């Protein structure tokens, strides 16, 4: 039994999912010291953690996981008992225009963390490395079937190839150096703090601004949506109760074709904004498809359900309602994250 506080390093904690994971760990585990390591890229925002920034068991460290010297120094100063690794470049469209950034952060950054973790795991019994990964590593499904933990990897985008590669490195470090690890592969998340480049927050923001809603291709692509707080609950469970060397798939049991989801969003937003029926639907614009666009993702989350007792707790109806309200109440946040470089990105991606 350790006499010191458990030091837990969470990477990417200023981002969308990471901020919910950091908040959960800080609030649920008062005896842990939670270190949030984040480079604060365009996707990282400390406003996401305003409510807990002064908690005594929380510390923020600004740093880049691609910088191996910085990580060496950090790991020499603090003896971590576990790493929950979420820091990544996460947007598929950006990976198509700039694959190298994804190689650097998602592959090189992960290997840097693994190198420091191996050394630490040898002196610190009970140490565990947790890689938070994506269902996109499995590639695309047809109209039927589900991704299982045993499904072969078949990534189609530079983003998913980089995440598949980092998953493989984690597993290889387990086999080769005996690093205790767990991996989870999750479906599409949605909820507060989601950067407005991804479908749901982008479209909420565009509806508010009465801007076109750019649906890729014919919109007949399917994603399995999970409320971010339920993902954070799953990450907590996997970190604490998952078996070393195992993978857990996490999903919402909640498949939606993009076009149906967009129409639902329009309906809900018309009501919330007091606009007439059909007003937001007029903004729907079919645009050039995403290259290598995966047709369908759907997770079979039976393993985490049976072994760890996890299942989603928030219905899609409730989650979407809470999410839209959050964006309507957090216009200042939206204003901050859509200023500066965002305008350039938006123009390049959608207005050419
Ligand atoms: P995000 O883009 O919102 O946040 C990523 C965070 O990582 C940001 O705070 C950013 O500043 C930080 N970061 C980026 N590069 C860094 C670097 N070099 N060093 C240190 N920090 C760096 O991402 P997200 O959507 O919250 O995803 C988090 C993790 O979960 C990612 O690993 C992603 O692959 C995975 N994931 C995401 C989803 C999803 O639907 N968003 C689903 C499954 C898995
Ligand atoms: O499945 C998990 C993955 O989900 C995560 O690993 C990724 O980090 C996360 O970004 C997400 O990837 P997707 O590519 O599925 O998410 P995105 O929100 O970019 O797109 C969802 C669907 O909507 C997809 O079929 C593409 C489509 N789309 C997206 C955008 C941004 C549009 O039709 N128009 C758009 O403008």
pLDDT at 79: 96
The reply to whether 265 and 182 lie within a common domain is: no
Gap from CA of 321 to ligand 2 centroid (Å): 20
For residue range 309-344, what is the model confidence (pLDDT) as tens digits?
999 999 999 999 999 999 999 999 999 999 989 999
DSSP code string of 173-210: HHHHH---EEEEEE-EEESTT--TTSHHHHHHHHHHHT
Percent of the chain, pLDDT > 70? 99
Q: Which of 35, 85, 25 is nearest to 59 (CA)?
A: 35
Region 174-195: mean pLDDT is 98
Which atom of ligand 1 lies at the shortest distance from residue 17's CA?
26
Q: What is the pTM of this model?
A: 0.98
Residue 135 catalytic? yes
In a domain, 349, yes or no: no
- Our mutation pick for probing the ligand 2 site, out of 92, 161, 189, counting the most ligand atoms within 8 A of Cβ, is 92
For residue range 281-292, what is the model confidence (pLDDT) as tens digits?
999 999 999 999
**Is there an atom of ligand 1 within 6 Å of 247 CB?**
no
- CATH number, residue 338: 3.90.25.10
Number of domains in the chain: 2
Look at residue 1 and tell me whether its pLDDT is greater than 90: no
Give the whole-angstrom CA distance, residue 163 versus residue 263: 31
Please tell me the residue having the least CA distance from ligand 2 atom 20: 199
| Residue indicated by tokens 């592959």 | 107
The reply to whether 278 and 144 lie within a common domain is: no
Give the whole-angstrom CA distance, residue 3 versus residue 339: 47
- Report DSSP state, residue 106: I
3 state SS of 7:
strand
In a domain, 152, yes or no: yes
Gap from CA of 132 to ligand 1 centroid (Å): 9
Look at residue 142 and tell me whether its pLDDT is greater than 90: yes
CA distances from 225 to 21, 59, 141, 191, 346 (A): 18, 31, 15, 10, 24
Look at residue 164 and tell me whether its pLDDT is greater than 90: yes
CB neighbour list of residue 87: distance below 8 Å, 6 or more residues apart: 11, 12, 15, 18, 37, 38, 39, 65, 105, 109
Residue 125 catalytic? no
Confidence bin at 100 (pLDDT 50/70/90): very high
- Domain extent, residue 54, equals 6-190+224-250
The reply to whether 41 and 169 lie within a common domain is: yes
Region 62-89: mean pLDDT is 98
- Report DSSP state, residue 218: T
The reply to whether 274 and 146 lie within a common domain is: no
Buried b (16+ CB within 10 A) or exposed e, 42-59: ebbbeebbeebeeeebbe
**For 90, how many CA atoms within 13 A lie in the half-sphere containing its CB?**
27
Ligand nearest to the CA of 66: 1
Confidence bin at 5 (pLDDT 50/70/90): confident
Share the mean pLDDT of the chain. 97
Residue 50 tokens, joined? 């305003």
For residue range 18-47, what is the model confidence (pLDDT) as tens digits?
999 999 999 999 999 999 999 999 999 999
Ligand nearest to the CA of 71: 1
pLDDT at 351: 85
Region 62-79: mean pLDDT is 98
The reply to whether 102 and 26 lie within a common domain is: yes
Gap from CA of 273 to ligand 2 centroid (Å): 25
Residue 241 catalytic? no
């Amino acid at each position: 039994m350790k006499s010191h506080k458990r030091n837990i390093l969470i990477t990417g904690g200023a981002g969308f999912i990471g901020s919910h994971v950091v908040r959960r760990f800080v609030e649920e585990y008062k005896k842990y010291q939670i270190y949030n390591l984040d480079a604060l890229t365009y996707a990282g925002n400390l406003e996401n953690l305003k409510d807990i920034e002064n908690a005594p068991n929380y510390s923020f460290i600004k740093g880049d996981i691609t910088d191996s010297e910085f990580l060496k120094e950090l790991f020499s100063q603090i003896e971590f008992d576990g790493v929950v690794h979420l820091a990544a470049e996460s947007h598929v469209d950006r990976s198509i225009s700039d694959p190298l950034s994804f190689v650097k952060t998602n592959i090189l950054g992960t290997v840097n963390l693994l190198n420091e973790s191996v050394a630490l795991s040898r002196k610190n019994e009970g140490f565990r490395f947790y890689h938070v990964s994506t269902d996109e590593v499995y590639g695309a499904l047809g109209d039927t079937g589900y991704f299982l933990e045993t499904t072969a990897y078949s990534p189609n985008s530079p983003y998913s190839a980089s995440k598949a590669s980092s998953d493989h490195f984690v597993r290889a470090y387990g086999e080769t150096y005996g690093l205790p690890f767990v991996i989870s592969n999750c479906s599409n998340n949605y909820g507060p703090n989601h950067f407005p480049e991804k479908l749901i927050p982008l479209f909420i923001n565009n509806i508010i601004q009465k801007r076109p809603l750019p649906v890729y291709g014919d919109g007949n692509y399917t994603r399995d949506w999970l409320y971010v707080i339920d993902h954070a609950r799953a990450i907590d469970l996997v970190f604490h109760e998952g078996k070393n060397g195992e993978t857990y798939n996490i999903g919402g049991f909640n498949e939606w074709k993009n076009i149906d989801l967009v129409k639902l969003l329009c309906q809900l937003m018309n009501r919330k904004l007091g606009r007439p029926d059909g007003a937001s639907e007029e903004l729907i614009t079919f645009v050039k498809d995403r290259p290598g666009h995966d047709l369908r993702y759907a997770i079979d989350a039976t393993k985490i359900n049976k072994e760890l007792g996890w299942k989603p707790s928030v219905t899609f109806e409730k989650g979407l309602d809470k999410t839209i309200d959050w964006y309507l109440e957090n216009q200042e946040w939206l204003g901050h994250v859509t200023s500066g470089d965002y305008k350039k990105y938006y123009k390049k991606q959608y207005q050419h």
